[in-house]
Structure 1
Amino acid sequence: MRSIEPPRRAAAFALSLGPSLRQLRTLALGLVGLMAGLPSAHAVPSFARQTGQDCAACHVGAYGPQLTPYGVKFKIGGYTDSDGKGGKLPISAMIVASFNQTAKNLPEKPEHGSVNRNLAMDEASLFLAGRLSDKIGAFIQATYDGVGRTTALDQADIRAVHTTEIAGKETTFGLSFHNNPGVQDPFNSMTVWGFPYTSSAFGFGMGDAATIINGALEQRVTGLSAYTFWNDLIYAEIGTYRSLPVTMQSRLGLGKADDIGRLGSGTAYWRLALFQDFKKQAFNVGVFGLNTSLQPDRSVPGSNRYNDLGVDASYQFLGTREHVFTANGSYIRERQTRNQMFANGEADNQKGRLNEMRLGASYHFLQTWGATLGRFTTRGTRDASLYSDGYANGSPNTSGYIFQADWTPWGKENSWGAPWANLRLGAQYTMYTKYNGARSNYDGEGRDAKDNNTLFLFAWTSF
C-alpha cells in the first residue's frame, strides 16, 4: 500500500479578467461535464494548428511534456496564443499501444492481461485543448483505459489570463481551475509531467509508497490557483483544493471505491520559480509546497496531515535545434502526522517522513532521435504496520534507473501531416536496485527487486 490511504497505483483581479470567479467556475464545470461523457497527455496537435507553429517549437524532441521556453510561455498565457487565423477547432485525440515484459512473471495475473508479455492498447484520449476566447483557454483530457477498460475524466486545466505592465515590465496574471496538483505548473518539471512521460500499465512504477503531491489526489480534487509571471523571469502561484464529492467522482467515471476521502479546508498549494530564456539555452529553478489534511473515511472523524516541500530545476541547451540537451530534477520531502492511522493501529509511529528524488537527462538529434536516462529514489522512515504486506523491514525505500530511446519522425517544419499528426516510437527499460525496502525477497515470498525489471515498447500517436 502507499504511504497514505489511497490505493496504489482575489476579487478585484477577477474583475479585470472579464468573467467573475463564479462565472469561471461555472464555465469550468460545464466543460468538465462535457468531456466526461467522452471516451495521460502531453503534446496535442490542436495547439500547433492554433499557433501555426510546429510541435518542436513547444516541445523538446517534438513530442512529450518537456517544454521549450516558447512552450512555457504558451502555457502561462492560458493556451490562448494564436496565429490570428480563425476556424481552428480545439480538439485532438491520442492513442498509446505497447508491449510489456517483466524479468519475472507478475505475482498475480492482471484482470485483463497475462502474467507476462502483455500486448495492449494502453489508452485512447480525446482533448479539448486550446483557445476558447481572447483570455480563456483549456486543456481537458478524457481517457479510455484500454487495460482497465474504463472511461473517465483525466487531466484538466482551464485558465483565464490578463496581461498588463508593472514597473514597465510585461506581467501576466492568471487563474487556473484544475484537478491535480502540479498539472497546471508551466515548467512541467514536477512529478505529474516528469520522466517517464509514458510507462507500462503492467509494470511496477517507482514503488508502492509515494508523497501525496505525487498522484494521490489526481483527478479526485478540484483546485483553484492564482498566478503571476513578471518580466519573463519570476513566476509565483498560490492555490487551494477541495475533494470531489463521491457522487461526482462516479459521474466522471472515476469510481467510488477509490475515493481518497475528504481534504481539510486549510489545504494550500504554493509555487515560486525563476525562469531565464537565453534563446540558445534556458533554465528554471523553483520551490513548491502542498500542506493538507486528509480524512480517509468521510463518515468517521479522524485525519492525517501531510506537509510537502519540494525543489526542482531544469536546464536546456537548444542551440540551433540540431543537438538538444536537457536535464531535469526534483526533490520532495514530506512530513506526515498520522493521527488517524496511529489511533487505528495502522501505523506504529505518529510521525514520519517520505522523500522522493527524480532526475533525468536527455539528448535529441534533429528533434527526431532521442535518448533519456532517469534515476529515481524513494526513502522514508520505517514503520512495520504502515509498510507491512509487500514490504521488507517496514521500509518504503525504492530506487532504480530508467533508460529510453525513441524516434519521433513528425512534428517538425515541413513534416508529413503537419500540423495534424504526431508519432513517437520508443523502447524503455526500467531497472530496480531496490523495491519496497529491499534488494531481495522484499515481499517475503522470494521476489527480488530485479525481478520487476520491465521492458516497455510503445507506439504513441496524436492527431
Structure 2
Amino acid sequence: MTSTRQGGALRALGGGLLLTTLGLLASAPALAVPSFARQTGQECAACHIGAYGPQLTPYGVRFKIGGYTDTDGKEGKVPLSAMLVTSFTRTAKAQDEKPDGASRTNNNRTMDETSVFLAGRLADQIGAFIQTTYSGIDKKGSMDQADIRFAHVTEVAGKETVLGLSLNNNPGGQDPFNSMPAWGFPYVGSDLAFGSGSISSMINGGLTARVTGLSAYAFWNNAVYAEVGTYRSLSPSMQSKFGLGRADDMGRLGAGTSYWRLAYMQDMKKQAFNAGIFGFNTNIQPDRSTPGSNRYNDLGVDASYQFLGTREHVATVSTSYIRERQTLNAALDAGDVENRKARLNEFKANASYHYNQTWGLTGSRFITQGSKDAVLYSDGYANSSPNTSGYILQADWTPWGKEASWGAPWANLRLGVQYTMYTKYNGAKTNYDGNGRDAKDNNTLFLFAWTSF
C-alpha cells in the first residue's frame, strides 16, 4: 500500500510491474555508514545533518563529489558497513486486507531490512557506495543502491575543479546534494502503509536497481555543479541474478534515455545553500518482444538552505518540484489507459531543526497531482484521479555519531517517531475507494529503530 509499491504497478504502463520494495529502498536509509567516518577520521556529524542519514552538510557534498576517497591518510581502513531497521506501523483504520509481508491488518511489528555496504575508498581516485539488502517484509535479498566513482582534481580557468564519472543504478541517486527524490525526506518509512500516494514520477524510484548508467560530472570552484549521463535497462537474466525477479521486468529503455543536472552551491561556513534544475527523459518498451513504447519527460527544480552556526543549533529548509509529461502509446494500444497524453506533478517542502546533532524535529508537506484517467484510475480511486496530499511530522533521537560518543566511529543509532496525515488520497478526502475509506483513515504512526555499524 506504499506510494512506491502502487506507483510501480501503475508505472507498469511504461515499464512493467516494478518490484514493490525497490522504490522504498531507494528512499530508505543510506549513506549513513560508519565506514566513511572511519576512513576520513571525521565524526558522522561532519557529513550528515543531525549526525545521521542522507541529509548532507557541505563537507558531505564535497566528499561524495570527490568519489568517496577523502581519507585521514591512515592505512588499514576496511570499507565495509552494515545496517538494520526495525519498526512498528499503525494506521488510523485497519486495512481491509493484510499488506504484503504483514502478519495482520494493523499494528505490525517488523524487521524491515538489513543491508551490507561496500562504501569508501577503493583506490586513489576511485570510491564506491554499493548496498545489498535483505527485506524482512518480502523475505528476499537483492542488489540495492550502487554508485562507483572516479574523481580527478584539476584547474579550469584558474579555479579548482573536480572532474568525475559515476557508474550507478538509479537516476538521481548519484546526486551529490542528496536533495532529489532518491534521498528525500522521509529518509525511512513504512513498507506496510500508504507512503506519499499511489503513483510517483519515473525519476522518483521508477527505475531503481533495474538499470545501469554512466554519467560525467564537473564541480567548479566549489560552487557550480554539472552532470550529464545515460541509462540502459538490465536484461531479465541480469535482474534475476541481482535478486530482482524476471517477472517484474520493467521492459527495455530506449537509446535516447538521458539524465542531466545543473546546480549552484554556496558554503559560507555557518550557513549554506544550493539550488538546481534536473531532467530525465526516456522511452520504455514494456514488452520486449512487441514494438511500442511509452515516453516520460521529467523536469525538476530543487533548493535547500542550511543554518549551521556552531553546530549546536542546526536548521534546514528544502523544497522540490517535478513535472512529468507522459506519452503513453503502448499503454493506449493495450487498452490500459484512456488518454495518450498525461501529466504528473510532485511537490515537497521540508523543514528541520536539530539540537546538538542529537535531537531532531522535521516537518514536511507533499502534494501529488496527475491527469484524470477513467481507465487507469478506476478501482480504489475517486474522480478518476491519483491526487494525494498530506503532511509528515517526525521527532528523532541520535545519541551517537559525535566525536566523543559511544562506539565512534564504529556504530550509530537513530530512534524516531513519525506521523503521516493525509488531506487527500487517490483523488478525494472522503470515500476515495468507493467502500467508505477516507484519506484520514490512512494516517500512519511509524516508530523506528535504525542502526548502522
* Common topology (TM > 0.5): yes
The correspondence of residues 20-169 of structure 1 with structure 2, limited to 5 A, is: 40-113=29-102, 114-169=104-159
One-letter code of the match for 1:377? Answer: I
User: Shift in Å at residue 111 of structure 1?
Assistant: 4.2
User: Shift in Å at residue 389 of structure 1?
Assistant: 2.0
* Among candidates 5, 12, 17, match of residue 7 of structure 1: 17
1:81-121 per-residue CA deviation (whole Å, 9 max, x = no partner) reads 00000100000000000011011112211343210000011
Q: How many residue pairs align between the two structures? A: 433
User: Shift in Å at residue 238 of structure 1?
Assistant: 0.1
The correspondence of residues 39-438 of structure 1 with structure 2, limited to 5 A, is: 40-113=29-102, 114-438=104-428
One-letter code of the match for 1:418? Answer: A
Structure-2 separation of matches of 1:99 and 1:352: 37
User: Shift in Å at residue 298 of structure 1?
Assistant: 1.0
* Unmatched segments (≥5 aa) in structure 2: 1-5, 21-28
One-letter code of the match for 1:7? Answer: L
Structure-2 separation of matches of 1:364 and 1:111: 35
User: Shift in Å at residue 301 of structure 1?
Assistant: 1.1
Structure-1 separation of matches of 2:349 and 2:271: 19
1:387-444 per-residue CA deviation (whole Å, 9 max, x = no partner) reads 1221111101000000000000000111111000000000000111111111111111
Counterpart secondary structure, 1:235: strand
Counterpart secondary structure, 2:123: coil
User: Shift in Å at residue 259 of structure 1?
Assistant: 1.1
Counterpart secondary structure, 1:257: helix
One-letter code of the match for 1:135? Answer: Q
User: Shift in Å at residue 300 of structure 1?
Assistant: 1.3
Structure-1 separation of matches of 2:135 and 2:170: 18
Structure-2 separation of matches of 1:346 and 1:389: 13
Structure-1 separation of matches of 2:70 and 2:185: 27
- Alignment root-mean-square deviation, CA: 0.9
Counterpart secondary structure, 2:82: strand
Structure-2 separation of matches of 1:209 and 1:259: 18
1:235-257 per-residue CA deviation (whole Å, 9 max, x = no partner) reads 00000000000011011011112
Counterpart secondary structure, 2:225: strand
Structure-2 separation of matches of 1:108 and 1:238: 44
One-letter code of the match for 2:443? Answer: N
Structure-2 separation of matches of 1:228 and 1:159: 12
Identity rate, percent: 70
What is the TM-score when the length of structure 1 is the normalising length?
Answer: 0.92
One-letter code of the match for 1:45? Answer: P
1:314-343 per-residue CA deviation (whole Å, 9 max, x = no partner) reads 100000001000011110000000111112
Counterpart secondary structure, 2:247: coil
User: Shift in Å at residue 447 of structure 1?
Assistant: 1.1
What is the TM-score when the length of structure 2 is the normalising length?
Answer: 0.94
Counterpart secondary structure, 2:137: coil
Structure-2 separation of matches of 1:390 and 1:112: 21
Structure-2 separation of matches of 1:403 and 1:410: 22
* Unmatched segments (≥5 aa) in structure 1: 10-39
One-letter code of the match for 2:301? Answer: V
Deviates more, 1:386-395 or 1:237-246: 386-395
One-letter code of the match for 1:108? Answer: E
Structure-1 separation of matches of 2:445 and 2:248: 28
Deviates more, 1:358-367 or 1:255-264: 255-264
Counterpart secondary structure, 2:218: strand
1:179-210 per-residue CA deviation (whole Å, 9 max, x = no partner) reads 00111000000011000000011111111111
User: Shift in Å at residue 282 of structure 1?
Assistant: 0.3
Counterpart secondary structure, 1:132: strand
Counterpart secondary structure, 2:162: strand
Deviates more, 1:343-352 or 1:374-383: 343-352
Structure-2 separation of matches of 1:246 and 1:378: 31
